[in-house]
Amino acid sequence: MSEKSLYTATADTQSDNATKERPTKTGDGGEHHQLPDQTRLTTAQGIPIPDNQNTLRAGARGPALLEDFHFREKMFHFDHERIPERVVHARGYGAHGYFEATEELSDLTCAHLFQEKGRKVPAFVRFSTVAGNKGSFDLARDARGFAVKLYTEDGNWDIVGNNIPVFFIQDAMKFPDLVHSVKEAPDRAFPQAQSAHDNFWDFISLMPEAMHMVMWTMSDRGIPRSFRFMEGFGVHTFRFVNADGEGQFVKFHWKPKRGLQSVLWNEAVKINGADPDFHRRDLWNAIEAGDLPEWELGIQVFDDAFADAFPFDVLDATKLIPEEDVPVRIVGRLVLDRTVDNFFAETEQVAFCTQNIVPGIDFTNDPLLQGRNFSYLDTQIKRLGGPNFTHIPINAPKCPFHHFQQDGHMAMHAPKGRANYEPNSWKEGGPRADPDTGFRSYPEQVEGAKRKARPESFNDHYSQARQFYQSQTPVEQTHIADALVFELSKVKTPVIRDRVVSHLLLIDEGLANEVANGLGMSSMPEAATPAKEPVENLKPSDALSILKNGPGNFAGRKLGILMTDGIDDVLFEDLKSAVENVGGMVEIVAMSVGGIVTKDGKSVAADEKIDGAPSVLFDSVAVMATEDGAEALAAMLPAKDFVSDAFGHAKFIAYTDPAKALFEAAGVKETDNGMFKLSSKGDIDGFIAKLSELRFWDRISDGK
């Protein structure tokens, strides 16, 4: 073979190999290739790959090694797939605020912000969905990004987490595959911003380690009511390091002061149609109204002895540590008090990097975290145009910074004088390393054979998934089953559905049967073969349930009042005042955006017209109508939907007696203990007292 033919044979060879594969048809017209017939996986340089599941590391639990060229190439290419929007977390929304330490932690960490109770630092937070593009809707079923940038005295500290404490995969090597599977298929460019399709569940069904995260995303955690009402987690295990160089493991939690809350799936679908910017608008309106979103920073701190005795590996990002085992200690608070001045300059250009830590914080050998440390910096360089993205104001530290980095695309800062290197002997020779106050890594002993592998301690993929499911209320368990049935009903390849159910059998047999029945499966597949037998005696953890951690009040929530002309002035004002007195908000909905005129001739402006404000946008509703007004509303489909949806979504409902005509027209012919007829201030007090429960679940005992 000539030199030319030798180096141009690749494309032809690939084409020939492709024709040798024996695809089997799937139900959606695609092809499902069986593993034995696949061609050999190589790098872009043609080097054959022996293991596409694990990063090369020093020992099974050791740190990732920079020489893993396959991982670096794979992640490098993935990071650069899209420009200018983020490959993942493209749809995001941010706000400014501050973090205040409420505890002094010098015994645990030398991080400057924890050396004094009451110390404050500026903060910027970006919330996001993961799978959809910038133009997708807010209420997708998805994990939510919860990324916090703290501008400390020792540099920027980025806690780049999610609203779920675990992740789908254990090794960053699999991240491109995970995201490729959930994104739109490359041959058809759909579906987008959703996981209900063959590619995603095909991947998941072949990756048992993902089953714990699947339980979380299929739960109500995947469709939060508001950014303000969801938790945040650092996901990984990090280290605190004190001034003496002593280290302990730490996990980070953000606890919302307003409590946890989600929406029902039927609500999410309708909210996306009525207001695809629902979460954005909610955060903006809350800050503008002075109802400042706030979270408490909690930490779980534990030592090597606990880590060694814990049944699961603390370096495994698909696992959590129950709060009953290590209580969460509240050490600070995060308050968002200012919206951005320009969305692109701040929210779109903000660059979070997991590698951004400060003295007193350190990494562990979590293989997912190690890979993220490489990936994020590489991604920002590509997405923001070059190495000087730290010169953009939203990314620049607010403390003094000095270095010899120079030039490059869009350079805004450069060293002054002749010294642009170190060491040098010039009198004004620039900055020097400071061994006393500089960042010091925890001196962990590392040893082990250099190989691509995962430790045996990572092999239990079902126990904590079972624990999560068993920690939910019956209502929440029903929602998980319904979500799985819905998602898998969109999967057209039966064998994929079978594989998922085979995993569910190892989590909870009742759940597996409910999903199988919901899918109309004629027979139950055999349970999957676990790499390690699951632990069956893990105790439920109340902290894992949303309904067990509700707000206990109506503060920060919204009552939608549908009104007509001629309503009682005093009753309306009493209801409005009562809601506002408990920290809630009131929005007026009318047949016309011009509003209504009360019985005493007072004009009340409307916030929304009825066909633009369905009840799914509110946490609770009231209907205040006269007989003529109720008759007019009963002839309007949006008004009938307003009350039928509120009833069907188990919301507390207040109404004046004439409004019953609208309910009857909407098919709601009977009242229950979640409905309150308003005749006097005493009736309002009873309604307000129940609003703290948010839902009247007895109305739909199966939670649907």
pLDDT in tens, 253-305: 999 999 999 999 999 999 999 999 999 999 999 999 999 999 999 999 999 99
- Determine which one of 162, 163, 373, 388 is catalytic: 162
As a whole number of angstroms, the distance between CA 435 and CA 423 comes to: 15
Flag whether pLDDT at 83 surpasses 60: no
Where are the chain's structural domains?
3-37, 61-391, 402-432, 553-700
- Determine which one of 70, 89, 479, 649 is catalytic: 89
Sheet holding 675-677, edge to edge: 608-609, 585-590, 558-563, 620-624, 653-655, 675-677
Model confidence at 37, pLDDT cuts 50, 70, 90, reads: low
Give long-range contacts, CB 8 A cutoff, 24+ apart: 381-384: 382/79, 382/80, 382/83, 383/83, 383/84, 383/86, 383/351, 384/349, 384/351
Strand partners, 255: 296
Q: How far is CA 174 from CA 141, 395, 669, in A?
A: 21, 28, 53
Q: How far apart are the first and last CA of the chain?
A: 67
As a whole number of angstroms, the distance between CA 125 and CA 145 comes to: 10
Render pLDDT for 86-144 as a digit per residue (tens, 0 to 9).
Answer: 999 999 999 999 999 999 999 999 999 999 999 999 999 999 999 999 999 999 999 99
89 is catalytic: yes
Q: Provide the greatest CA pair distance for the chain.
A: 97
Instruction: Compare 205 and 28 and report the one with higher pLDDT.
Output: 205
Render pLDDT for 168-182 as a digit per residue (tens, 0 to 9).
Answer: 999 999 999 999 999
Which CATH entry fits the domain spanning 553-700: 3.10.580.10, 3.40.250.10, 3.40.50.880, 3.90.550.10? 3.40.50.880
- pLDDT at position 1: 36
As a whole number of angstroms, the distance between CA 346 and CA 266 comes to: 33
pLDDT, averaged across the chain: 92
The CA-based dihedral angle spanning residues 346, 226, 238, 207, taken in that order and rounded to the nearest 10 degrees: -110
Mean pLDDT of 402-416: 84
Q: Are 560 and 589 in contact (CB under 8 A)?
A: yes
Q: Are 408 and 386 in contact (CB under 8 A)?
A: yes
Mean pLDDT of 8-21: 36
As a whole number of angstroms, the distance between CA 518 and CA 71 comes to: 40
As a whole number of angstroms, the distance between CA 518 and CA 627 comes to: 44
61-391 and 553-700: same fold?
A: no
Token pair belonging to 468: 């999560």
Q: Are 143 and 130 in contact (CB under 8 A)?
A: yes
Mean pLDDT of 185-214: 97
Q: Which residue has the tokens 């149609």?
A: 273
DSSP 3-state of 581: helix
Going by C-beta distance under 8 Å and a sequence separation of 6 or more, which residues neighbour residue 294? 256, 257, 258, 333, 334, 335, 336
Flag whether pLDDT at 7 surpasses 70: no
162 is catalytic: yes
- pLDDT at position 145: 98
Mean pLDDT of 466-477: 98
Q: How far is CA 97 from CA 111, 125, 127, 340, in A?
A: 20, 8, 14, 10
Q: How far is CA 407 from CA 345, 420, 693, in A?
A: 22, 11, 58
- pLDDT at position 18: 36
Residue 43 class from Cβ within 10 Å (0-12 exposed, 13-18 middle, 19+ buried)? middle
Task: Identify the CA nearest to 134 among candidates 191, 192, 189.
Answer: 192
- pLDDT at position 428: 87
- pLDDT at position 26: 43
Token pair belonging to 703: 């939670």
As a whole number of angstroms, the distance between CA 125 and CA 91 comes to: 14
Return the CATH fold of 61-391. Answer: Catalase HpII,  Chain A, domain 1 (2.40.180)
- pLDDT at position 9: 33
Model confidence at 612, pLDDT cuts 50, 70, 90, reads: very high
Q: Is 566 left (phi over 0), alpha (psi -120 to 50) or beta?
A: left
Strands (E), 76-192: 92-101, 120-129, 144-152, 155-162
Token pair belonging to 556: 């920060």
